[in-house]
Amino acid sequence: MAILKDIYQTTTEGNHAAIKDLVKKAVDEGIAPQKIITEALSKAMVDVGDKFGTGELYMPDMLLAAKTMKEAMGILKPLLKEEGEGAARGVLVIGTVKGDLHDIGKNLVITMAEGQGFKVIDLGIDVDYPKFVEAIKAHNPDIVAFSGLLTTTLANVPDHIKVIEEAGLRNKVVLAVGGAPATRDFADRHGIEIYADDASTAAKEFVKVVEKV
């Protein structure tokens, strides 16, 4: 459908000023909200993420695309609930680790995950240890993700995990970590199942987790 191609293109270009009218037009034409997400928005964000990974696009391009998708989702989310299409593909709890005030990377991951159909519980920045435990108990997530931009704050991740273990919840969730100082070795050393060096990869790994269930 031409309108879905237009939405895809507009999202990849990060034209957030134009996306609302296109999404409304698609809805008026009778296209299901979930189809708009899966066949246009989600594909666009995955492609943008892939191009970012290969160096064809840069962080500002990713941020603009994410903002564009967020504008579109603002229209589509209420419609999903109204039409009974709101069943989540999976549940993700995510937060920036204790002591860290950065959220750009986290917000990109949230956008990508929502585009793949996840219900996302965003705990925000500088998340205290008990908050992850409370969120696991309240939302029964498939995945718990830690975001950190600084080496000093990423060092708090083991303490986050320890608190989850002490609450008897570690075996109920898959853990993920990302951020500039994070590495595959860091994840392996602390028993973290998912490591991703960009938002697009993170979303793909999240999908693998829920598809195994």
Phi, psi of 121 (to 5 degrees): -105, 105
- Give the integer Cα–Cα distance in Å for 9 and 201: 21
Domains of the chain by range and CATH?
2-82 (1.10.1240.10), 90-212 (3.40.50.280)
> Which amino acid type is present at position 132?
F
Q: Which three-class secondary structure state does DSSP give residue 83? A: coil
Q: Which residues contact 201 (CB under 8 A, 6 or more apart)?
A: 49, 53
What predicted TM-score, i.e. pTM, was given to this entire model? 0.81
Q: For the chain, what percent of residues have pLDDT higher than 70?
A: 96
Could you tell me if 53 and 205 are in contact, meaning their C-beta atoms sit under 8 angstroms apart? no
pLDDT in tens, 8-60: 999 999 999 999 999 999 999 999 988 898 899 988 988 888 888 789 998 89
- Dist. CA 123–CA 8, nearest whole Å: 29
**Which residue type does 75 have?**
I
Of residues 176, 178, 207, 200, the one with CA closest to residue 61: 200
What pLDDT digit, counting tens, does each position of 154-170 carry? 999 999 999 999 999 99
Q: Kindly indicate the confidence band of residue 111, based on its pLDDT and cuts at 50, 70 and 90.
A: confident
Q: In 83-128, which ranges are continuous DSSP H helix?
A: 104-115
